[in-house]
Structures are given as structure tokens and as C-alpha cells.
Structure 1
Amino acid sequence: MQLYEALAAALIDLEVQPMFGVMGDANMAYVAKFRERGGKFVAAAHESGAVGMADSWSRATGRVGIATVTHGPGLTNTMTALVEAVRNRSSILVLTGDTPAEPTHFQRLELSAFASAAGAGYERVYRPETLIRDLERALRHSVTGRQPVVLNVPHDLLRSDVEDLRTVRPPARHEPVIPGEERLDSALGLIAASNRPVVLAGRGAVVSGARESLIALSEVLAAPLATSVQAKDLFVGHPSNLGICGNLAHGPAGTALAESDCVIAFGASLNVYTSARGELFAGKKIVQVDHDPSRFGWYTAVTDTVVGDVREVAWAMVSLLQQGGHEPNRSWLRKIQTGLSTFEPGAEFADASGSDTVDIRTAAIRLDGLLPARRNVVSDSGRFVHAAWPYLHVPEARGFTAMGAFGAVGLGLAGAVGMSFARPDEPTVCVIGDGGFMMSPAELATAVRENLPLVVVVFNDGAYGAEYHKLAAYRIDPAHSFMSWPDIRGVAQGFGARAISVRKLEELDEVASLTANLDGPLVIDIRLDPTVDIAD
């Protein structure tokens, strides 16, 4: 057996399903053998798309995502998607390889330096007989470090003969850390002394599966529930759910957060968006709970901290508060719940639809009712998120991914492909701007080839919309941000997808019938007015 065959067999043993990638000299041999052995390989159109797919797949499943690309430009093409995965702390393995040992090879690249520049880990296969050990080390590095790892399988090793190798062992997960009662005393003292506490969940709470424990804690404390964007809709349907905390909070949530005197944050970084650049948490007691103590106080100064698995910490807090006979202020929560029960999202703004454009906020609210109730949502970056994130919901937090940890535009479509493979029994909705869509339309061909139940909602203002308003603030003609794209419906149809154009709100109504039984991708091109500022 040669090493490329052994690597393919090891990936099959790991039950890597699927592996995302673009073939080239560095990987085509083991990719071919992987497929011949029954492995699912998703051929992306671009290497950045392959890493974006693996990233989104990993976020949705909680498992290590696998991407493979060739050496040199194959790897450099992944840089933006790789940094996005690093910033999101995603566990993914990027398989690539050194070029042949020839100093003049035109695709040579120092792989470890590239990985370091992206903030990713780096491992390599050193000798044919160490293949399994090196692969296991790379997987363990990705899982325990919660980061992408670039694994170098040198080209010159691929045809090396190897003896029968042992079966690869998947990386073990760490047992959750549970702090002792004495470590919780200080934090619980602050919390119990508060009159208007809020329980705030971040992505770490989603990963930990902490929904039920945090709801139980909120009931003991009579505290409303809020989330960061990355934990969006973790508490959807609960009467105490405030939704997104920070600069995207709706009216009743903003009022409750302003009135609160203590925030207990579970698995949330408390970044500038969640904290509204610090203004939201000013003067409040902040208790931050995370398994990783390096996360404490990174963005926001905190009053106390607890190291531990957020689900287990929440259960421990519930138990200790109940044992102590804690009696919270329930009148404040009842007032908040009353406000939430009567809240109508559309009442917060004046609809600014025009004769041939739709207000994106109105469109998002309408789509929330028209799209299949069981769905996933993957978001690109852009000014449209001010409407898409607050108004377009998912029934389960694992079904939402925002490809925006690096602030890049154009990763959303690849992320939606990855989500579609992670959760194939429900349609995936990709929300993306016209600029982001035109950066990555080739991955629509991947979705068509794979016959994915994917709905791509393109919020099309014919401009780089955020830049339009920033230029206006500079008192520079915002028309410099205008872009003349080809017809997006025609582009989508050219790739083999169904597509419709929406210029009036009532034209959205056919979405319900078009998405009832998806048999492939559907693109919805919604025309917006770039002059309407939805971020006010």
C-alpha cells in the first residue's frame, strides 16, 4: 500500500462525511481513492469555498470539518476563509502538502509560515510510518485548541510504501470542567444581590448544549434571557426571550437591558457589538462564565469570572440558589414578558418600500413567515444583517451561522453549502448581499451539482451599501459605491438554479409555494433602495 492509499483509508475510518475540497497535484491521489472507497467528496469551485464549507459544517455539527486543497496557490486561496474559521475558533483540518523537493518549483510555499499568518495551527506527516500518529496529532490539536489546523502531507511522501497501519482513533473530547461550590460563592453573591439580572448566552452556550440549564437559571433568578448574535434564537419561543443583545436589540429588549443591574454571560465574548461598544454594560455587575479563562475581560471589563463548562456551571448555580432559598424580584420579569408578548417588529420602523424596491426589514419579516418553518440560516456579511438577523429566525440555534467573524464579504454561499450537508433534512437559507453573491457565484454551481435544498436570498441594492452611507458621512458623493451587476436572476439561472426577481413586496408571496418541496437551489433577487439607511 502507498501512503496516499493509506491516508484515504484513514479518512474513511474517521467517517469523514463529507470532505470538501479542490483537487490538484498535492491531493488528487488520495481524494480519488477516498471516493473509490465510498467517501463523499464535495468538489468546491474555489479553495476558499472548500474551507468555508468545512467551517460551517463544523459549526453546525460540533465535529471536525475536513477540507483539502493543493499546494501553493491552492492553499493561499484559502486565506480569508481560514482566518474566518480561526476567528470563530472552528475545529477544521485543512489537508495540503509541500511541493516536490525542488528549490525552483514555482508553487513552493512555506506552509508553516502561512498557517501562522492566518492564526491556524500547523502539523505535518514526517515519515510514512508515522502517518496515523501525525494525523491523530493534527486532529487532537484542532479539537483541544478549538482552531483550524493545516496538515502538511508532503508530495514526496505520497507514493511511499507503508506497512499495514493501525486504525486511526478519533480525538477524544475533554470532560466538562465543573467548578466547586467555593469557586461559585463570589459570583453567586453578586448575582443573588441583584434586583434585575439578565442571563446572556453566547456561542459557547450553544456548543455546550446549555439551553435548558440557562432557562432553569433564568426561572430561579426571574431573569430575562438574551443572546449574542452567534447564539441567535437559542431561546426562541420562550416568554422571557429578549433576542439579540447589543446594537441589534429590539425596543423591549433594549429597555430591559438598559434597566438591568447584572449580566451573567455564558460562553459569550462580550464584544463591541454585544455590548454596544461598552455602553450597554456601563455601571452593571458582569459575571463571565467560560471554559477558557483567556476569554475573560477581552472586550469588556467584568466584575467576576467562573471557569467551567457553561452548561454545568448553570446547573450548579441553579442547585445552589435553590438550596439557599433565593427569592428574586419577579415583578420586573413580568413587566418585561408583557412587553415582549405585545411586541410587533414592524412597528419599530416606517416601511420605506418604493415603486420598484422593497424595504429590507419588511422583506425579512415577510420571509420569516413564508419560508419553511424548519430551516437553517447562514448569513454573509453586509449592511443587510441589520434586518436579516433580528427579523429572520431559526427554530434551533445550531441552525444559524454568521460567516462574519473576520468581517469578510463573500463567504456566505460556501457556508450555506456546508450547512446543507450538515443538516440535510431541512432547507438552508443563505442571506447575502449583491456584492457578496457576485464574489462567490461559482459555489452556486456546487449547490446545483449536489442538488441541495438551498434558498439564496440576495438583498440587492446595486451598490456596496455600507460604503454608500459611509461615503455620505464623509460628505463624498455616495454614487461612487454603485455597482452595475449583470441580472442576478439570469446569473443564477445560468448556473442551473431556479430564480425569481422581487421588486414589490407582494411578489414575495410565491416563495411559500416555491420552497414547499425544494428539489435544488432557489435564488431570490430582492431589489433594495441603497439610500434607505436601516442601521439608524
Structure 2
Amino acid sequence: MKLHEAIAKFLADERGTQPVFGLMGDANLAFLGDYIEREGGTYVPAVGENGAVLMAYGYARASRGLGVATVTHGPALTNTLTGLTEAVRAQAPLVLLTGDTPDVHEFFQHTDIPGFAQHAGAQFERVRSAGTALSTLAKAFTRARFESRPVVVDIPLPLMSADVDYAVPTWPSFAPQRIRPDSDCVESAAAMLLAAKRPLVVAGLGAVRSGAGDAVLELARLIDAPVMTSLLGRELFSGQPENLGIFGTLSSRLGSDHIGQSDVVLVLGASLNNWQTDSYRLLADKRVIQVDSDPEALARYGPISLGAVADAGAAAEDLLEILRDVGQEPSGSRRLAEIAEANAGENREHFTSTTGGGYVDARESVVEIDRVLPPGTRQLTDVGRFTVSVWPHITPAPGTMDYPGYFGSIGLGIGAGVGVASVDQALPTVVWVGDGGAMQGLVEITTAVRQSLPLIIVVINDGGYGAEYLKLIDVGAKPENAFMAWPSISRAAEGLGAEGIRVTDREQLTAAVARIEEYSAEAAGDGVTCPLVIEVIADPHQMANEASVG
């Protein structure tokens, strides 16, 4: 068979019913044609190359598996830079298949593929001959899974028509390893926790993925410590009396008070990044014990007193064993009782609504929409000022929230959301996005339309760029300089084949929420015919600038 036929068969064998996202061009159209026609593979064509990579990224994050994208050479590859860099920063297992240009003098679309991959921070593999192509592909797919990072694969176009035998070498299958901490390290951590006067336990996405919730909660109760989570670990301890919610700059007032009072902080599977810790100022005077399965995560953002390369759940279990062995029992301290009492008075809706005059308070819309979403609904947010109106007021199940913001770019949410929605079509996927990010990513709505994906996109439209609105004030300029005269985003979405609803008052919000309930039921039944776009018109002068949880 020809190499392009062999690549198609490899992809079909490797992916099964899982999708390949991409955009066709000279470097990949031969094997994509075979993949679709001969192999019956699932191919999701994107509008743009960056969108294709974002879809593979979203799919990998939501499925906890591998995402695969393919684009052609030259400008198609360079168009993927932002999405690929985002996937690298998020440590998403992803393979991007591309191909070098024809070997002719001064070919106008030539670009340095290994240099490009290095610039994005991705790994790189090159197919050096037709005979080694399948071996190189198998290696790339294995590396992406084992290393949990993107791998760019260059399959030079001139090799596509070469004759090859279909023989794929056997590579080890991927199974996540549950790394246990070193026993001396566990003993040192236990000693620090037992000596602490006001310990605090923080669980991140690593704890969620490890299934460590029960063990972490039991451990916290043994040492009379309240529990908190990272943004992506949120709701892990929902309903528990000692739960203080999100740790860091998004904390409630009660949570912020206890962060400030803590002396030893045990962190299980959370990065402690600059946004989370206010550039580490929240931990400046504390003893920090950090546990993470990624050694590069330890002390990355600031000093720690003790670090352990380990699975969050395994570490919690080993700490529990030591504490039980020394006879540690919950003391029933007044501290946790006071937290439980104060917690009962907290309210996610602790804000004064500004709805009126043709505008809807973004927080009010978030609370009302979140209330009717089916359990298990995946929620994804773009990045921007609007997020402080979203993050404190949504209640996703543990592990079902994500945000493509590791590179700090707006406009990635819709593309990534298409990939997330491709994982499970029995439930809707909700993407929360600002107006600027929506305008940048709107074109990929047509991909969701073609695939009939159950995707709800909620656009918080305050008519401009929110972060710049605030920064212009800081530099003494008029914030109105950040305003943008957008067209109606919901109407634009309708033009792209979606269903659009514009919300400017409570009556329209109530109708939009009712439609979301109907849409969710359609997704669970016979399926939806197109995505649903809800455009909430918000007053830029009244947008929240900090978390509003009492």
C-alpha cells in the first residue's frame, strides 16, 4: 500500500471511533481522504487551523485521553501557534500531524517545523523515510500520552506516494501510574501537620483525578483543618461543613480570613500559580507542603517547606496511615465548628443585582443559567474580566470545569468547547465567553453546526475589552477607549447556523433559561440540531471586578 493509505489505517486503528480534528491541505489531504472513505474514520473539519488544535486540546482535557489534529504545511502550521502553546502550557496529550513542503528550491510555503515546535514548547518527531513512518507515528502517539504534552509530527509530502508494508511496532500501552510518596517525606509532612496550630488543606485537579476527595477530607478532619480547592478542583468538598471553597484570589471573605490565619498549608495536586496565590503573596509567611505527580510543579511559583513527587490520593492515604498509627483523632475543636456555622451563612448569590435599563447583571444570569444545567454538564470558560462574574457562581461537578487560559489568550473557548462537546453528546457543554473572545472564536460555531453538537455558548457582552477597561483607568485614560461597536453576536451566530437569543432584561433571561432547559432535554433525547448562543447584554460600568461571595 501507499504511505498515505498506511497512515489512514494507522489512524483508524489508533483512534477507533474517536475524532481527528483538522483542516485539509496538500500535506494531509491524501491520508485524510483515505481515513474518511476507506477506513470510515471520524473526521471533524475545522474552519481554521488554530481551531482544529483547540478542538483536539479540548477533547484531550475533557476525555482525559489523547487529542489528534492535522494541518498542512507553512502558514497552516504557523496559524496553530497560539492553540499549540496553550496545549503545551496545559500539559495536554496531543499529536499534531503536519508535513514538510516539496523539496524544491525556495518553495514559498516552507517553514522551520522543528523550530516552530520548539518555540511553542512542543516535542517534535520527523518521519525520515517511508519505511520508518509508522514506527515514528507510534512513537509520537506514545510520547504524547506518556509525557502528557503535544508532539508535532512532520511527515514530508514527497513520501506520501511511496510503497510500504503495513507493520506497526508494539509500543507499551499507557496506564497512569499512581506514584506513592517516599516514606521519610510522609513522616516529615505528618510531623509538620501535627505541630501546626492552624493547618489548612488545599486540593487541586490532581486530587480530583486521583479520586482523593474522601481521603483528603478524612485527613483534614484528623488534623482539625478546613479544606479548600483550586479553581479546577472546585466542588470536591461541596456540602461539607469545613469546606471554605476556592483557594486564593477567588476566595470568599471567610476563605480569605482562614488563608491569612493559617500557618501550615498542605497542597495536594494544585499548582499554586500566580493567579491562585496573588503571585505567592498569600503564602509568603507560611510553611507549605506541596504534593504533585509532576516534579516540575513543585516550588515552581514560590518556596515550599517540603515537596513530594506523588499522586495526591496516595499521599493522602499514606498520611492518614501515619496519623492513625500515632493515635491521632479529631479533637472537635471550636475552630471547625465556627467554620461550619459561618459557612452556613455564606451565599453564592451574595451581590446586589444591577439588572435594569437594558442591561442584565452578568452574575444574575450565571446563577440562573447554572441552576438549570443537568448534573455532570461540562463547563468551560474563556478568559477575561467576565470570569469573576462566572467562576464564583457556577456549580460544576468535580472535574467537569476547565478553562483554556494557560497562555492567557482570550478567544480560545469556543474552539476548545467544540472539542469538549465532541466527548459526550448526551449532555450539553457550556462555554462562558466575553464579547471579545466570542468575536475572535465565533467562526468555529459553524463546526459545531456541521457536527450537530450540543453546545451552549453564553456570551457576556459588555461591549468592549474588560481587562483593558480597568487598565486604562489605572493609567489615567478613559475606559471608553476599550469599547467596541460589535454587531449583535446572537444574530451573527444565527447567520452561522446556530440558534441565538439576546437577553437585555429579566423577562428575556427567564425565557432564555427555559430554552436552556428544553435544549438540555433535547440533547439527552434525540439530540440537538445546532448550538445555542445566549447573548447577555451587560453594563460595562457595572461589571464585577472581584469575586462576590459573602
User: Fold-level match, TM-score > 0.5?
Assistant: yes
Q: Which residue of 2 aligns with 1:4?
A: 4
CA contact (8 A) 1:21 1:50 kept: yes
Which has the higher mean CA deviation after the structures are superposed, 169-178 or 479-488? 169-178
Give yes or no for the alignment of 1:421 onto 2:422: yes
CA contact (8 A) 1:14 1:169 kept: no
Q: How does 1:119-138 map to 2 (within 5 A)?
A: 119-138=121-140
In structure 2, the CA distance between the partners of 1:475 and 1:354, relative to structure 1 (3 Å rule), is farther
CA contact (8 A) 1:139 1:171 kept: no
Which has the higher mean CA deviation after the structures are superposed, 270-279 or 327-336? 327-336
Q: Which residue of 1 aligns with 2:63?
A: 61
Instruction: Indicate the SS of the match to 1:274.
Output: helix
CA contact (8 A) 1:27 1:69 kept: yes
Structure 2 Cα separation of the partners of residues 29 and 297 of structure 1 = 47
Which has the higher mean CA deviation after the structures are superposed, 378-387 or 127-136? 127-136
CA contact (8 A) 1:410 1:435 kept: yes
Q: Which residue of 1 aligns with 2:534?
A: 524
Instruction: Indicate the SS of the match to 2:96.
Output: strand
In structure 2, the CA distance between the partners of 1:206 and 1:58, relative to structure 1 (3 Å rule), is farther
Q: How does 1:286-297 map to 2 (within 5 A)?
A: 286-297=288-299
CA contact (8 A) 1:14 1:168 kept: no
Residue deviations 1:128-153 (CA, integer Å, cap 9, x gap): 22223211221222223221110111
CA contact (8 A) 2:22 2:45 kept: yes
CA contact (8 A) 2:203 2:233 kept: yes
Displacement after TM superposition at 1:3 (Å): 0.9
* Matched letter for residue 242 of structure 1: L
* Matched letter for residue 487 of structure 1: S
CA contact (8 A) 2:503 2:512 kept: no
Instruction: Indicate the SS of the match to 1:372.
Output: coil
* Matched letter for residue 506 of structure 2: L
Structure 2 Cα separation of the partners of residues 423 and 263 of structure 1 = 37
Displacement after TM superposition at 1:533 (Å): 4.5
Structure 2 Cα separation of the partners of residues 70 and 241 of structure 1 = 49
Structure 2 Cα separation of the partners of residues 527 and 163 of structure 1 = 59
Q: Which residue of 1 aligns with 2:337?
A: 334
Displacement after TM superposition at 1:171 (Å): 4.2
Q: Which residue of 2 aligns with 1:15?
A: 15
Q: Which residue of 2 aligns with 1:370?
A: 372
Structure 2 Cα separation of the partners of residues 73 and 176 of structure 1 = 41
Structure 1 Cα separation of the partners of residues 69 and 323 of structure 2 = 46
Q: How does 1:89-488 map to 2 (within 5 A)?
A: 89-166=91-168, 169=171, 171-173=173-175, 175-330=177-332, 331-347=334-350, 349-397=351-399, 399-488=400-489
Structure 2 Cα separation of the partners of residues 314 and 448 of structure 1 = 45
Which has the higher mean CA deviation after the structures are superposed, 523-532 or 360-369? 360-369
Residue deviations 1:388-440 (CA, integer Å, cap 9, x gap): 1111121232x211011111010000111111112322111000011111111
In structure 2, the CA distance between the partners of 1:422 and 1:224, relative to structure 1 (3 Å rule), is farther
Structure 1 Cα separation of the partners of residues 538 and 7 of structure 2 = 49
In structure 2, the CA distance between the partners of 1:429 and 1:129, relative to structure 1 (3 Å rule), is same
In structure 2, the CA distance between the partners of 1:313 and 1:354, relative to structure 1 (3 Å rule), is same
CA contact (8 A) 1:10 1:167 kept: no
Q: How many residues align?
A: 534
Identical-residue share of aligned pairs (%): 38
CA contact (8 A) 1:13 1:168 kept: no
| TM-score relative to the length of structure 2 | 0.93
Q: Which residue of 1 aligns with 2:492?
A: 491
Residue deviations 1:310-343 (CA, integer Å, cap 9, x gap): 2211111112211221134533222212222221
Which has the higher mean CA deviation after the structures are superposed, 157-166 or 370-379? 370-379
In structure 2, the CA distance between the partners of 1:103 and 1:341, relative to structure 1 (3 Å rule), is farther
Give yes or no for the alignment of 1:41 onto 2:51: no
Give yes or no for the alignment of 1:81 onto 2:83: yes
CA contact (8 A) 2:291 2:312 kept: yes
CA contact (8 A) 1:10 1:168 kept: no
Structure 1 vs Structure 2 CA RMSD = 1.7
Instruction: Indicate the SS of the match to 2:406.
Output: coil
Displacement after TM superposition at 1:169 (Å): 4.5
Displacement after TM superposition at 1:167 (Å): 6.4
Structure 1 Cα separation of the partners of residues 74 and 46 of structure 2 = 17
CA contact (8 A) 1:464 1:481 kept: yes
CA contact (8 A) 2:368 2:513 kept: no
Structure 1 Cα separation of the partners of residues 190 and 259 of structure 2 = 20
Which has the higher mean CA deviation after the structures are superposed, 161-170 or 57-66? 161-170
Structure 2 Cα separation of the partners of residues 128 and 2 of structure 1 = 9
Structure 2 Cα separation of the partners of residues 166 and 345 of structure 1 = 54
CA contact (8 A) 1:370 1:511 kept: no
Residue deviations 1:464-490 (CA, integer Å, cap 9, x gap): 111112101211011111101111121
Instruction: Indicate the SS of the match to 1:189.
Output: helix
CA contact (8 A) 2:465 2:483 kept: yes
Structure 1 Cα separation of the partners of residues 219 and 512 of structure 2 = 39
* Matched letter for residue 343 of structure 1: E
Structure 2 Cα separation of the partners of residues 43 and 234 of structure 1 = 36
| TM-score relative to the length of structure 1 | 0.96
Structure 2 Cα separation of the partners of residues 221 and 132 of structure 1 = 54
Structure 2 Cα separation of the partners of residues 495 and 151 of structure 1 = 33
Which has the higher mean CA deviation after the structures are superposed, 3-12 or 190-199? 190-199
* Matched letter for residue 488 of structure 1: I
Instruction: Indicate the SS of the match to 1:322.
Output: helix
Displacement after TM superposition at 1:497 (Å): 1.0
CA contact (8 A) 1:95 1:153 kept: yes
Structure 2 Cα separation of the partners of residues 417 and 338 of structure 1 = 42
Instruction: Indicate the SS of the match to 1:431.
Output: strand
Structure 1 Cα separation of the partners of residues 172 and 55 of structure 2 = 21
Structure 2 Cα separation of the partners of residues 237 and 94 of structure 1 = 42
Residue deviations 1:83-122 (CA, integer Å, cap 9, x gap): 1111111111111111111132111111000000011111
Displacement after TM superposition at 1:204 (Å): 2.5
Instruction: Indicate the SS of the match to 1:345.
Output: coil
Instruction: Indicate the SS of the match to 2:274.
Output: coil
Structure 2 Cα separation of the partners of residues 236 and 160 of structure 1 = 58
Which has the higher mean CA deviation after the structures are superposed, 56-65 or 226-235? 226-235
CA contact (8 A) 1:461 1:527 kept: yes
Instruction: Indicate the SS of the match to 2:416.
Output: helix
